[in-house]
Structure 1
Amino acid sequence: MEGVEEGLRWVRDRERDWALGARFGFAVLEETPEGPDVVGHVALKGLGPGRASAEAGYWTAARARGRGVAPRALDTLSAWAFEAFRAEGLECLELLHQVDNAASCRVAEKSGYAFGRILPSAPPSYPLDGHLHLRRAAGA
């Protein structure tokens, strides 16, 4: 993000998403001697009445990669989602990434998301094929 204005707009958009129940995002923080540092973000979206699945997503700052930050954050989000939305019938979480992103495949596998299938490209937004990974709720 570039600048305070863009950052504030991003935060306001996330607050609106929470209020609407459209997307639930969490900052991933790491304690430093200077205070908390944002090293990533995890989100849950696509929930709705009669929907048994939702999409999980994440990003990590370059300085946090390779230290297990993303798998721990994604695992925490997934456990929270299944607990928080059990009554609504949430049974499965989906994680999508481009086929050439081996690091995201490793994160998915470490977080209990099994490879599901290859998704065809859809240019211009998705110029490459993708991977769909799935994590099912216990007992689903």
Structure 2
Amino acid sequence: MITPTTLRSAATADFPALSLRPWREDDVPALVEAYADPFLRRWTAESPDDAADGLRWVARQRRGWEEGLRFAFAVLEAGPQGGPGRLVGGVVLKRPVPDGASAEVGYWTAAPARGRGVAPRALEALTAWAFEAFGGSGPERLELLHQEDNGASCRVAEKSGYAFRAVLPAAPPEFPLSGHLHVRAAGA
């Protein structure tokens, strides 16, 4: 079993460090506020609308850790003097087959934090952890999928070393439009 952990992303010249940790109940107000953004809702399958939805969402993330199939992290920007800061996004590693050769990554950035390099920095921290944390049973490659018309996700993938591999056909109703597949191999 993988123990829930906290990951760090270094500060840059322009932006404070990021802290990535498993989701907690006290994240729910900020989570619900972030998901009120119509742009974010457009790209995500699940959108908590209120505190009750948010608590259920956080409980599912916790179960994902327990089951070893979904490792979701809240992304926080460091506050003054390096203390805990505000929620700026989320990242996740999904392993539908626990000992499979591949896993999928996902991410989102809260509206006020867009354009600050949050997604690439958080994705880089998640990627490094994913290849390291699972030892010999870890994935050999990580896949990043996004809808074809999501140019921002394409740029994040490229900045994070995820090479474009293929256009995936639409698969309605869950995936009504075609998508992109980006891949990063272990050691790349």
- TM-score, normalized by length of structure 2? 0.69
Alignment of 1:41-120 (within 5 A): 41-120=90-169
Count how many residue pairs are aligned between Structure 1 and Structure 2: 139
Deviation readout 1:53-96 (Å, 9 max, x if unpaired): 00000011111111100000001000000001231041100000
Deviation readout 1:16-72 (Å, 9 max, x if unpaired): 111011100000001345952111000001253441100000011111111100000
Structure 1 vs Structure 2 CA RMSD? 1.7
Conservation of the 8 A alpha-carbon contact between 2:105 and 2:143 = yes
Consecutive unaligned residues in structure 1, runs of 5 or more: none
Deviation readout 1:95-126 (Å, 9 max, x if unpaired): 00011111101000011100010000011111
- TM-score, normalized by length of structure 1? 0.92
The alignment partner of 1:27 has SS state of: strand
Q: Paired residue for 1:31?
A: 78
Greater mean alpha carbon deviation, residues 37-46 or residues 48-57: 48-57
Q: 1:37 to 1:88 in 2, by over 3 A?
A: same
Q: 1:119 to 1:128 in 2, by over 3 A?
A: same
Higher strand share: 1
Identity of aligned residues (%): 63
CA distance in 1, matches of 2:64, 2:99: 19
Consecutive unaligned residues in structure 2, runs of 5 or more: 1-47
The alignment partner of 1:66 has SS state of: coil
